[in-house]
A and B are shown apart, each in its own frame.
Chain A
Amino acid sequence: MQTFTQLTSTVMPLPVNNIDTDQIIPARYLKVLDKASVAEGLFADWRYLSDGSPNPDFVLNQPLYQGAQVLLAGNNFGSGSSREHAPWALTGSGFRCVISTGFADIFNNNALKNGLLPLVVDESFFQQLLEKVQSNPKTEVTVNLENQTVLVEENNLSFEFEINPFAKKCLISGQDQLEYILSFEDKIIQFEQQTS
């Protein structure tokens, strides 16, 4: 897994609540057998017009926000299906962090396993950051995972976020979670013997 320590980047605003995984990656893009080819379906129904050309009104297609590695999205991001194709589509498109006031559980888990940081902020920070990036798309944030802070330098705006300590450790060290589980194989065997 790609590690995550610190990131400075511009921010792409998508202030819509309840963006579900069917919006992040519509089901017709789920027939693939790999992870890499999922990215072209990111936000497909919003991003492309009916003739398949890019929708110039959608933020992902706006030149001002190109290259952003941080997505700022409305509350309850990633609700709906368990498809891990959602974080794959985001990381495949260059995103390393999603900032929101809340994430759906399964999306949160899936993101963490792909080096994508789901960062929860409060309503007030969300609104202030949104205003900044909408009025000045060049606004940069610095996310520091070790200190658990997100900082908007030129405005002196900052927020201390919470993250589960194990998830933090895995992101920083790139710990492979399956390896971690398998390091307890003797206990798994013991458990199976006791319960069978």
Chain B
Amino acid sequence: MKPSSPKPLTLLDKIWNEHVVTQEADSPAILYIDLHLVHEVTSPQAFAGLRGRGLKVRRPDRTVATMDHSTPTINIDKPELLDAMARAQLQQLRDNCAENKVTLHELGSKNHGIVHVIAPEMGLVKPGMTIVCGDSHTATHGAFGCLAFGIGTSEVEHVLASQCLLQNKPKSYEVRVEGELQPGVGAKDIILALIAEIGTEGGTGFVFEYTGSTIQSLSMEERMTICNMSIEGGARAGLIAPDETTYAYLKERPNALQGQAWEDQVQQWETYHTDPGAKFDKTIFINASELQPMVTYGTNPGMGVFINSTVPDPAAEYQAEKRQSLQKSLTYMDLKAGTVMEGHPIQVVFLGSCTNARISDLRSAAQLLRGRKIADGVRMLVVPGSQQVKQQAEAEGLDQLFLAAGAEWREAGCSMCIAMNGDQLQPGQYAISTSNRNFEGRQGKGGRTFLASPLTAAASALTGKVTDPRKFL
């Protein structure tokens, strides 16, 4: 008799199964974590908890820290200019890392930057891993075919102490994207379109796996942009199966294996894909060739439309809560139903964040700005995602190009994505931002955010209005 073939598994199943340490009846699994990323904002109380228990970090070799959220992006050599609380928070991280022998990528050092930008750059992120961080955009790393998700501070403490987490297995949700993108439309537009379609709670309880020819055609940096915003669609993680693009990126990383060892590793990575015939709990299909540049109008990332479309009318919502929520958003944004998004004035442009501050994002914006000037009265902030991105951009002369166009060129960090470090909108200002959240006050109290791609942000900087980048291509 022929042995029956093993049950087909999803990529999620495979990574999950390989990391379950144990699972008792009626209890969540104890899941082993391969890499734990740490930053200054969500870790102090976790280290304090550890200290209170008389414990130390169990695997400092699997723990990597950086400071990015409350760090300055100018005058980084003058810490005295920071407010006292931010300074204390950074010092606390230094002390915690020193006490526990955890590697810390200090402000201004060679590998410093936004946690989700530096980890892949340094070659720490590899297919099949489990990765966590006290930060919801840990989803970014799923671009490499790893299960990567954000956790709270109690869980940060759990992982510091045990290298494990208690987890219930999430369900799988295939996001299949097929078709050729039109010029001027990119990864950010795909993910904003998905979230507009399913809503910010559409993926709750699921892990997305992005599949299809469009996804396969994207670079690693574009894949990271998509996985990064999985959380905005409610999913804790997003996955993309590794392929030649992934291996080529990893081959270039510091400390990549060589020769036969590399070949063996790639062979093992090739097992990380969803088997033919494996069942997803849910599937959605997106036709990439129909997409246009996206922009958000409201106060959550699901409130997005094609750039030449209009702001929807709350009166068309039959459900009271939805109607009221939309009305509340439009009141905050001071937008009228029926307004065409394209052409709406903006005062600030933010090119940055773990969604879109990698070198390809900067190049893509620079391509539009080359030889042009941003509109009078517009403030444009360009904040590279990491020191490495910054160095690379400077080597290519992009810093000079941004400065010549009238933009500000900053040090790496989260900056105006979360507005904790003084880089922030003034009340009432409109910004077009390449970040991931347009929540009320996210980029500064009273500030109003339109989320868009780097290309759309650059085009809008040139005109001072929300602008379709295809006009400049």
Where the two chains meet, the residues of A that have a C-beta atom closer than 8 Å to any C-beta of B are 15-18, 20, 22-23, 26-28, 30-35, 45, 50, 74-76, 79-84, 102, 104-106, 109-110, 113-114, 164-166, 177-178, 180-182, 184-185, 187-188, 191-192, 195
Contacts and interface: CB of A to CB of B under 8 A. Distances in A.
Nearest to A23: B440
Contacts of B300: 18, 20, 79
Interface stretch (B157-165, B401-409, B461-469): B157-165
Contacts of B165: 181
B85 A22 contact: no
A22 B437 contact: yes
B106 interface: no
A51 to B, nearest CB: 13
B30 A188 contact: yes
Contacts of B70: 30-31
A76 B204 contact: yes
B236 interface: yes
Interface string B362-382: 000000000000000000000
Given A45-B440, A79-B234, A104-B201, A34 B45 contact: yes
Contact of B325 (A31, A74, A113): A74
Nearest to B84: A31
Given A104-B201, A177-B154, A28 B439 contact: no
B135 interface: yes
Chain B interface category by residue count: 35 or more
B291 interface: no
Nearest to B164: A181
Closest 7 CB pairs of A and B: A110-B152, A31-B85, A84-B152, A76-B201, A82-B150, A84-B153, A113-B154
6 contacts: A30-B69, A50-B446, A80-B136, A82-B151, A83-B153, A110-B152
A27 B437 CA distance: 12
A157 B88 CA distance: 50
Contacts of A110: 152-154
B166 A181 contact: yes
B283 interface: no
Given A33-B92, A114-B154, A182-B162, A105 B234 contact: yes
A104 B441 contact: no
Contact of B41 (A30, A177, A185): A30
Contacts of A80: 136, 437, 439
A53 to B, nearest CB: 15
Contacts of A106: 136, 150-152, 236
B66 interface: no
Interface string B156-176: 011001111110100000000
A83 B85 CA distance: 17
B211 interface: no
B238 to A, nearest CB: 13
B290 interface: no
Interface in B20-57: 21-22, 26-28, 30, 32, 41-42, 44-45, 48, 53
A16 B152 contact: no
A27 B418 CA distance: 7
A22 B28 contact: no
A181 B158 contact: yes
Contact of B158 (A50, A177, A187): A177
A103 B88 CA distance: 33
Interface string B336-368: 000000000000000000000000000000000
B158 A102 contact: no
A18 B200 contact: yes
Given A16-B324, A20-B439, A79 B42 contact: no
B77 interface: no
A191 B369 CA distance: 53
Interface in B51-82: 53, 69-70
A74 B205 CA distance: 18
A16 B236 CA distance: 23
B22 A18 contact: no
Given A31-B41, A82-B135, 15 more contacts: A16-B325, A17-B325, A18-B325, A22-B439, A28-B420, A34-B44, A34-B48, A81-B136, A82-B151, A104-B234, A166-B27, A166-B28, A184-B22, A184-B30, A188-B32
Contacts of A50: 427, 446
Contacts of B92: 33
Given A35-B45, A109-B152, A75 B162 contact: no
Given A74-B325, A181-B166, A105 B420 contact: no
